[in-house]
Structure 1
Amino acid sequence: MASKIAHKWLCTNFVPFYNDTKMYEKYRVDEPGQMGLSSGEYEIQDGFGWTNGIVLELLQLYNSTASLQNWNVTAPLCDKKLKELIILKNKKKKEK
């Protein structure tokens, strides 16, 4: 169950990152890849500390199974780009 939720969260973050080169503060859980709605207090932020941090942590935990094929979404070259991101992250980790 945790893996399924983690993969859904990774997909939800990766699709807009791939398409718009942005991470957002809020996302719609019912539509992976869609930016969430503002509560009216302020406009939705680009990039957000805990959002970005959770994505990096989940990539580390689930890097062997992270794949858009598992997420049932369509985005050109996303699976390849995701694998490149994971490889780069692991390479940097090994260099430390």
Structure 2
Amino acid sequence: MLKRIACVASSLTLTFAAAAHADDIEGEIEAVDGDNQTLTVQGITFHTDDSTDYDDGLSSFDDLEVGQRVEIDFDYDGERHMATEIELDD
């Protein structure tokens, strides 16, 4: 029985650990760098490119402003956070 409880606890730990590595974030834009096409949210710099999708009132990188609340879906390639989608957060 104790072995079974340990197994269940281990599974739950792995489930919650995986959730901690989510690929989206919400927060206020702290900085926008038009030269490098990056924005900063919660201290993390997100890179954008031609494949970044903009939704909910945003149509391009040029629509981003410091102070806006956004939700960013992203991929992390081991070196940088690539924004795949950026939308205004209500």
Please give the range of the TM-score, normalised by the shorter of the 2 chains: under 0.3
Compare the two structures and name the one with the higher helix fraction. Answer: 1
TM-score normalised over the length of structure 1 = 0.22
TM-score normalised to the size of structure 2? 0.23
Greater strand fraction, Structure 1 or Structure 2? 2
